[in-house]
Amino acid sequence: MIKSSVLGYPRIGIDREWKKALEAFWSGKLEETEFHNQLQEIRLSHLRKQQEKGISLIPVNDFSYYDHMLDTATMFGLIPKRFSYIDGIVPLSVYYGIARGTKDATASEMTKWFNTNYHYIVPELDGASPVLTENRPLIAYREAKEKLGIEGKPVIVGPLTFLKLSKGYTLSEADAYLDKLLPLYVQILQELSIEGVEWVQIDEPILVTKLTEFEIQQLKKIYETFAASVPNLKIMLQTYFESIEHYSDIAALPVTGIGLDFVHGLNGNLTSIRALGFPADKVLGVGIIDGRGIWKAPLRAKLALLKELAEFVKPERLIIQSSCSLLHVPVTVEREKKLVAELKDALAFADEKLDELGLLVRGFLTDGADITDELEENDRAFQALKLLGERSEIQHAVAAISNQQQVRNQPFPQRNIVQQQKWQLPLLPTTTIGSFPQSAEVRKARQLWRKGDWNNEQYNDFIHGQIDIWIKLQEEIGLDVLVHGEFERTDMVEFFGEKLAGFAFTQNGWVQSYGSRCVKPPVIFGDVAFTGEMTVAETKYAQSRTKHPVKGMLTGPITILNWSFVREDISREQIAYQLAYALRQEVEALEQAGIGMIQVDEPAVREGLPLKEAEQANYLAWAVKAFRMTTCTVHDSTQIHTHMCYCEFHDMIGSIEEMDADVISIETSRSHGELVHSFEENTYKLGIGLGVYDIHSPRVPHVAEMTNMIDRALRVLDPKLFWINPDCGLKTRGFDETIDSLRNMVEATQIARAKYIK
């Protein structure tokens, strides 16, 4: 009998119960025992739902108290020394300290999970000797079996992926660390085998990236060791997000099954199977339902793909599953009551994807005969969606503009002289990234306005009051370039989508970004168009309240693209140009309103970079072009800023310079040393600010910490072009910690100025 499976299920709950429980525990409103009880109930409800939907192999241990990489690190006792951990099961105080920082210890680095908007906590090895603190997969398996009678499929991050995504070791130490980790993995697997577990899913997404011959040998060593140690355990070597590299080597590994992505890695994986076949003694995990997208699956095309794969793999050796964990999509479409029917009927969130798996199993077994009505309904949904939101005038305008050269009037050195004369800023100017704390009062005011309890005048008066407070605070703190605080904005992408044509918004389409931080990505379903000014009123008001320059704040086209769920009938490149054309009109409106500094944030450029090297240059070319299309029409005296979250700077420095922003700020505080090191090897000749403290942690950084960061950066960067700022927006932080942190940042700046002013 053909089986169905998913690789993981969203943690957050249908009403974000998970997020609420975490934040209640962190704030001291929920005791630890009750916290565990609440999370267990959430976890069991997710398993129960998959059981009721008829999923054959239900994943367990995919649930987390924060992040699955952090879970793996703490399971192996890999705790940074600054957290004073001794031994045994890692307490929650240490677990969350690693993720969020403590009063005395900085949090571990957080970075993107491959090319997604999910962030994981980077494990730190740094000479540590791993030990097994507890067998988490076994605990999860027992819970599912005892509470619900589910024979679960434990999920584990694989050794090669875990090692490659960790830090704190040199290449020469990689084998030594693998030798320390392997016995612990073997112990986990042996205990699972003794318990009677049939299938274990070992996630190795690193296999879709380019591997060295040394890493291929490590991979063989890992799975040969597993095969010898647990010969009766069925191991599904699971990959996702793209097609695998080194197909022949991976296909020859001694595992029971191999899971491949036939959505985002369709072309590469299908080409490999067509050319080389698939091992007759292995099970193929067919990742056919998109775990990252929100659109219904085109069922006829999916059935045709399954039929073709059945020519290479016996049907009983196929498992129909999601392409990756459903962590990356919202929970259910069922709660969406306000979407137009044509759009809602085309959507499939996590729960609907479970249903689609069942449909594909039935359809495959009966050659479509058992799901005739569903196939016809599926066809109608796509036809209706295609007619929704089409704007031929936008298509023509964007086609014309995208063929033009997108360049500023003068190169940066000439613009910089004009801007220095205009602004007269001090050495090492200080600023923030844009947002200030959104208090309960701010959120309540927005809710009252959205419900209609407040009219526009009442709400605008409230927003003006918040701007007044924070303009005054910024002046008192001593910042040089101010922001209005973004109190009118829920989310940096949603805010703009609500004001542009071609977007739709869900009521409950939340997904996890990092920790308890959830975002509700907009849905781009049609052609994007500018319909009127979006940010001018608030920015212009803020500028009227101070003599300091106030930055206009926009989210850039690539970030809006990468942080939205987007249509699939045209290319992402074309959507980016439509966004850029719309945002260009807002940039021009800000400049016409007298705003001479405009920040166009692009924190998500790096995460959109394709995993395949052969595709990266093309992506970066059109991403840069879209940014320049947004900003290139302003005067020389208008200073364009941008902001990026941490990236591997050395492999993007050329593209970042090509964006030609006058000032770029980069989120670096958790990995400041690594990024500064890249400047020792690469020059950067435009204005730049490296974030000097981590806004994702509630701790207030000391002046000395920030002074050290500034000094380190200025060893390789020109002080005349260097800006000082936090590493990201401050929306999620508290009032007092924000004020204290910024005061310390200004004090650190004053110390630095005393050193560098000559």
Instruction: Detail the residues annotated as belonging to a binding site.
Output: 16-19, 112, 117, 433-435, 486, 517-518, 563, 601, 607, 643, 645, 667, 728
Q: What would the two tokens of residue 484 be?
A: 């209005």
Q: Which residues are documented as binding site for L-methionine?
A: 433-435, 486, 601
DSSP 8-state symbol, 425: P
Which residue's structure tokens are 């004369």? 421
In 498-535, which ranges are continuous DSSP H helix?
none
In terms of DSSP bridges, do strands 517-519 and 199-203 run parallel, antiparallel, or are they unpaired? unpaired
3-state DSSP assignment of residue 236: strand
In terms of DSSP bridges, do strands 119-121 and 110-112 run parallel, antiparallel, or are they unpaired? antiparallel
Going by C-alpha positions, the residue among 161, 176, 23, 184 that lies closest to residue 96 is 23
Give a three-class secondary structure readout of 116-139. CCCEEECCECCCCCCCCCCCHHHH
**Tally of CB atoms within 10 A around 505:** 15
Spatial distance between the Cα atoms of 484 and 436, rounded to a whole number of angstroms: 8
Measured CA angle at 519 (ends 156, 261), to 5 deg: 40
DSSP element (H, E) containing 476: helix 456-477
Going by C-alpha positions, the residue among 128, 155, 151 that lies closest to residue 55 is 151
Contacts of 545 (CB under 8 A, 6+ apart): 467, 468, 471
Going by C-alpha positions, the residue among 370, 375, 482 that lies closest to residue 431 is 482
Spatial distance between the Cα atoms of 50 and 352, rounded to a whole number of angstroms: 11
Q: Which residues are documented as binding site for 5-methyltetrahydropteroyltri-L-glutamate?
A: 16-19, 112, 117, 517-518, 563, 607
Contacts of 544 (CB under 8 A, 6+ apart): none
DSSP 8-state symbol, 670: G
What residues are paired with 31 via a beta bridge? none
Which residue's structure tokens are 């009219």? 455
Length of the chain: 758
Spatial distance between the Cα atoms of 178 and 158, rounded to a whole number of angstroms: 11
The pairs formed by 412-419 with CB atoms below 8 angstroms and a separation of 24 or more are 412/660, 412/662, 412/685, 412/686, 414/636, 415/636, 415/637, 415/662, 416/662, 416/687, 416/721, 418/636, 418/637, 419/636, 419/637, 419/639, 419/662
Q: What would the two tokens of residue 387 be?
A: 């007619």
Spatial distance between the Cα atoms of 479 and 601, rounded to a whole number of angstroms: 20
Going by C-alpha positions, the residue among 6, 41, 50 that lies closest to residue 20 is 41
Q: Which residues are documented as binding site for L-homocysteine?
A: 433-435, 486, 601
What residues are paired with 295 via a beta bridge? 347
Q: Looking at 46, 119, 641, 696, which residue is catalytic?
A: 696
3-state DSSP assignment of residue 283: strand
**Tally of CB atoms within 10 A around 210:** 12
Specify whether the CB–CB gap between 161 and 219 falls below 8 A: no
In 322-391, which ranges are continuous DSSP H helix?
341-344, 350-365, 372-386
Q: Is 696 one of the annotated active-site residues of the chain?
A: yes
DSSP element (H, E) containing 705: helix 703-714
Backbone angles phi, psi at 4, to 5 degrees: -120, 155
Active site residues: 696
